[in-house]
Amino acid sequence: MKSCRTCKTYKDCIGKEFYTYSDIRWCVHQVLWIILNSEILRGGRWPLNPQVSGYIDSSIKTGYASEAYYTKPVEILAELERRLKRTGLAGKLLRSEIKAGETIDSMEPEAKSALLYVKGLDEKAQAYSDWKKQARHRTKKQRAD
């Protein structure tokens, strides 16, 4: 399996069961993982790795020496919530569909659109409505070619 640093498109990636803070590149699968684990992250904890080795005590708090251990989980969640807020109702629909167990292929088009808007290492500069118009234009142009 490719690492999250080398994937070029979410369509060729199946994602992973667990991500570390340093893995987060805001790919589609990571956004879904953050939504699914939002309550744990909101509590200032990082979800436990389901494949923890017996050599490492999973209760040990790790982080950067200059900050509290709970800041990274809260920062990641706050960034996602900030991005989702820009999508309005579509972001709320995305969150509810993911919590209900929907997959990328089975979600409503508006929820999928919100997901594609919030993904990416850098936040989109365009407003969500402008981004959707541009995406529709690209799709029509590709069909015409």
Q: Is residue 54 part of a domain?
A: no
pLDDT, one tens digit per residue, over 93-132 is: 999 999 999 999 999 999 999 999 999 988 899 999 999 9
Residue 15 lies inside a defined structural domain of this protein:
no
Which residues lie closer than 8 Å to 99 by C-beta, 6 or more apart? 35, 36
The tokens of 12 are what? Answer: 């060729």
pLDDT in tens, 7-18: 666 667 778 899
Neighbouring C-beta atoms of residue 21, cutoff 10 Å: 13
Two structure tokens written together for 77: 């969640």
Which range of residues forms the domain containing residue 79? 24-49+65-144
Place of tokens 């893995």: 23
Domain count, the chain: 1
- Whole-prediction pTM value? 0.81
